[in-house]
Amino acid sequence: MPEPTLLLLPGLASDEAIWRDQLPPLRARGLPVQVSDAHARCATLPEMAAALLAEHAGPLLLIGTSMGGMLAFELLRQAPQRVRAMALLGSSARADTPEQIALRSNAIPLFESGRMDEVLRANVLFAFHPSRSGDRALVEDYLAMIGRAGPAQLVRQNRAVMARPDSRPLLPHIRCPVLVACGDADLLTPPECSREISAAVPGARFELIADCGHLLTMERPAAVNALLADWLDGISGQH
């Protein structure tokens, strides 16, 4: 059986930097590790998933944060036999609510008119735990990452997220090992979203990370790394 590829799926307008603290220990395990950039190249979640499936042969271990978790569901929807395990960090199986669609729709003209930084700085209070929102280096690192994506990607990826289906009907049919984790103070994908996933997926594992907001991998890297290492150890004999 071919060795699986560990495929890291970043969040909206994020890049490899969102996994900066995870990449060294994950690569040290000896598995092939790839960071997806399909969200930067494709307009919809189905197109992103199709591109990744075409580009990465063989079985996949998926680790997705935020929108990356939503993309993981789409990969599973398109090729369930290829997905050997999933870790979903700060994500949701729900479709956007009308209120969320309105917020994204209202932000798009601001992105297009050059007010991206203004919108993102206002969003920092929602993205990070209150104890980290004053961490200037962390906040500027995050804003620089989103800045590299630029307004066109922000617009396209927000539209992709708004168009996603409700993945909750898929959850009871998932048969691969699933880890679900979120920050205890996540305001963008609250813990109830992660609890909902873990309750519906047979045998799923749920972990709540203390003193953490939405950006788990950047805010609490040591806790996330330990959790992923334990998860991978648990499934290492199954692939």
CA dihedral of residues 50, 16, 126, 85 (deg, nearest 10): 50
Domain encompassing residue 81? 5-96+161-238
> Over the stretch 79-130, which tens digit does the pLDDT of each residue have?
999 999 999 999 999 999 999 999 999 999 999 998 988 888 888 888 999 9
Q: Is residue 82 part of a domain?
A: yes
Q: Is residue 104 part of a domain?
A: no
Q: Is residue 135 part of a domain?
A: no
Q: Is residue 127 part of a domain?
A: no
pLDDT at residue 126, rounded to an integer: 87
Q: Is residue 210 part of a domain?
A: yes
Look at the chain and report how many structural domains it folds into. Answer: 1
Q: Is residue 150 part of a domain?
A: no
Averaged confidence pLDDT in the chain: 95
Residue 84's CATH number: 3.40.50.1820
Tokens representing 139 are: 């906040």
pLDDT at residue 1, rounded to an integer: 64
Mean pLDDT for each 10-residue chunk of the chain (239 residues)?
A: 91 97 96 96 98 97 98 98 98 96 94 89 87 88 94 96 97 97 96 98 97 96 97 78
Strands 60-65, 178-183: pairing is unpaired
For the purposes of burial, counting CB atoms within 10 Å of the CB of 197, is it exposed (0-12), middle (13-18) or buried (19 or more)? buried
Q: How far is residue 102's CA from residue 54's CA, in Å, rounded to a whole number?
A: 34
pLDDT at residue 239, rounded to an integer: 44
